[in-house]
Chain A
Amino acid sequence: MKQTQGQKIFGVFNYIFLTALALLCLMPMINIVALSFSSRNMVNAGFVTFWPREFTLSSYEYMLEKSGLFPAGIVTIKRVIFGLLINLAMTVLVAYPLSKDDLQFKSRKFYVGFFLFSMIFNGGLIPTYTVIKEMKMLDTIWALILPNAVTMYYVLLMLNFFRGIPKSIEEAAVVDGANWMQILVKIYMPLSLPSLATITLFIIVGHWNEWFDGMIYNNRAQNYPLMTFLQYHVINFKTSDLRPEQIAANPALADLDGRAIKSAGIVLCTLPILCLYPFLQRYFVTGIVMGSVKG
């Protein structure tokens, strides 16, 4: 098809507009990275835009040395690892029986009703909090993992993927004498790697980024996961919070402005998850489309 004059103009405009939009997505992030590497004077004077001025690592030194970031990071790594294992196992184990049809699994209707209702009606903040409290789970890692161990969105994604696997494969395995668990582990799961990769990414990102449960289910600040730590100590940080002995030990700290330190904290807490994402990107597009729109 030949392009008309108008189409050429639109094409150029289209490229410019979409590029500008993508830059708009990156701009705030680049600004924060630049701030995190800049000196206090330059930050205060408003000279920092998209490139560090008077390059310094002192904000990062402060963030890494300030007791709190590392312990919080360890809490987050714990919740990511245990949360991933538990959530992934639950997702597969719930999705597989529910992907069968009503004839194969007659009790399916009951379970569908049970899980569907839990999806569209919830007890809300206070009752959930009291249950966690009554179970003596406050200040434990389990309060961050178990309440959302079954995430219905992931179950639906997995279930739809399972349904796309031809029935004949399963029938052949049944003839060979395989039981349901073997069929799930040896046939369905290897065939579902794109979907499993998508859900793995979602679970890791979800646990890494979750902060609210860490805030309300922990009374002691040393149990905070990374994002709760960031919310509590960094977003609210002021240079005046520094203790005199901290400044005496490292005079460079007194030169730091809150903005630069906050920026370094944000970069440190966000970078690991952004590094993971490109590796899984090729999987999640198919995964998402499978889960949200069927047929």
Chain B
Amino acid sequence: MTRSPKKAKRSLAVRFKSELPFHLMLLPGFLMVLIFKYIPMVGLSIAFQDYMPVFGMFDQEWVGFENFAYVFSMPTFPRVIYNTLFIAIMKIIAGIVVPVVFALMLNEMNNMVYKRSLQTIVYLPHFISWVALAGIFLDVLSMDGIVNTLLGHLGINPIYFLGDEKVFPYTMVVTDVWKTFGWNTIVYLAAITGVDPSLYEAAYLDGAGRYRQTIHVTLPTIMPIVMLMTILSIGNVLRAGFDQIFNLYSPLVYSTGDIIDTFVYRLGILGAQFGPATAVGLFQSIVSFVLITLGYWAADKFAGYRVF
């Protein structure tokens, strides 16, 4: 049965009127997102322009894919992509494994007061900005910083954690885990608390000790959430952590530490090459979009997770 256009129009008007309070509530947020998220998407057209800031938005010269060709042919660009993937993927793996193991070990603690105190301490770094943390790490990890002083007492030669291009990416992964692992245990600890106690009793009666109870009862029960967190972090593959790396890197380690975001910053904001910088940004946005969409799709299919 097809409805007449007039009737459909009227029902739409009625619907709009009955839903008016909802539309009004959404209006301010809608406008903010429209202005600050959607208009910049239109601004991605800069990627196809020879953008000159002195001219207005509509008076730019179109150059097709020239900016992309220019950036992709830069000798440093493949290196930047590789660095980004390497650091980001290492962070994703370590960012799942460490919190899960930590949560499992914390769960074995019987002293609740002690457990809570440890949690309070390991959550703490999450609240410190990367700027302040960078200041801390630049000092602590410097050649005469406390880490090298302590290593010296153990008879180990000083390591240039932030200036040696071979060490730098690993320093990024470790300091990132240092900041985030405590906070990331929250979700897993909640999941472990939700494990049905009768499962442990059944396993105990079957002769399983604490270790085997953990492997065969706790781990499988929290596995769906571990999977979900992994899937949802796939979208970060091209985001290796600008705040951290920008504040800790130096020209000494560009060869292994320069990532897409820092590259875009230097190219666009410092070098004022708006066109090429936007081209890289667009490339990054599209790849991330595809990965995140795939991740959401997989999360919905395998874990029944819906974003909204």
Contacts and interface: CB of A to CB of B under 8 A. Distances in A.
Contacts of B149: 46, 49
Contact of A14 (B109, B131, B284): B109
A235 B132 CA distance: 8
Contacts of A148: 36
A131 B29 contact: no
Given A94-B29, A266-B136, A131 B39 contact: yes
B69 to A, nearest CB: 18
A127 B128 contact: no
Interface string B177-197: 010001000110011000000
Interface in A185-199: none
A63 interface: no
A252 interface: no
B204 A289 contact: no
A78 interface: no
A143 to B, nearest CB: 10
A293 B22 contact: no
Contact of B204 (A1, A100, A130): A1
Contact of B29 (A18, A150, A156): A150
Contact of B129 (A115, A134, A209, A292): A209
B269 A125 contact: yes
A97 B25 contact: yes
Contacts of B304: 295
A7 B41 contact: no
Nearest to B213: A1
Contacts of B120: 278, 281
Given A25-B122, A105-B22, A230-B135, A130 B57 contact: yes
Interface in A40-63: 46, 49
Contacts of B285: 121-124
A19 interface: yes
A81 interface: no
Interface residues of B, number: 93
A206 B307 CA distance: 22
B64 interface: no
Contacts of A227: 129, 131-132
B72 interface: no
Given A111-B26, A146-B36, A211 B124 contact: no
B199 interface: no
A262 to B, nearest CB: 6
B118 A22 contact: yes
B33 interface: yes
B128 A270 contact: yes
A146 B32 contact: yes
B108 A11 contact: yes
Contacts of B114: 15
Interface in A179-235: 179-181, 184, 205, 208-212, 216, 227-228, 230-231, 234-235
B190 A231 contact: no
A127 B307 contact: no
Interface stretch (A29-37, A64-72, A166-174, A243-251): A29-37
Contacts of A265: 135
Interface stretch (B83-91, B138-146, B162-170): B138-146
Nearest to B274: A126
Contacts of B129: 208-211, 227, 269-270
Contacts of B265: 125
Contacts of A146: 32, 35-36
A239 interface: no
Nearest to A133: B53
Contacts of A94: 25-26, 29
Nearest to B41: A123
Interface in B249-308: 261, 264-265, 268-269, 274, 277-278, 281-282, 284-285, 288-289, 292-293, 296, 304-305, 307-308
A208 to B, nearest CB: 7
B136 A127 contact: no
A84 interface: no
Given A25-B182, A125-B268, 8 more contacts: A10-B210, A24-B178, A94-B29, A124-B284, A180-B25, A212-B243, A262-B135, A266-B132
Interface of A: 1, 4, 6-7, 10-11, 14-15, 17-19, 21-22, 24-29, 31-32, 35, 46, 49, 89-90, 93-94, 96-98, 100, 105-107, 111-112, 114-116, 118-131, 134-135, 146-150, 156, 159, 179-181, 184, 205, 208-212, 216, 227-228, 230-231, 234-235, 259, 262-263, 265-266, 269-270, 273-274, 277-278, 281, 285, 288-289, 292-295
25 contacts: A7-B209, A7-B210, A15-B109, A17-B105, A28-B136, A28-B137, A49-B146, A93-B25, A105-B19, A107-B19, A121-B41, A122-B41, A123-B39, A123-B43, A127-B42, A131-B36, A180-B21, A212-B243, A227-B131, A230-B131, A231-B131, A263-B139, A266-B132, A288-B186, A289-B190
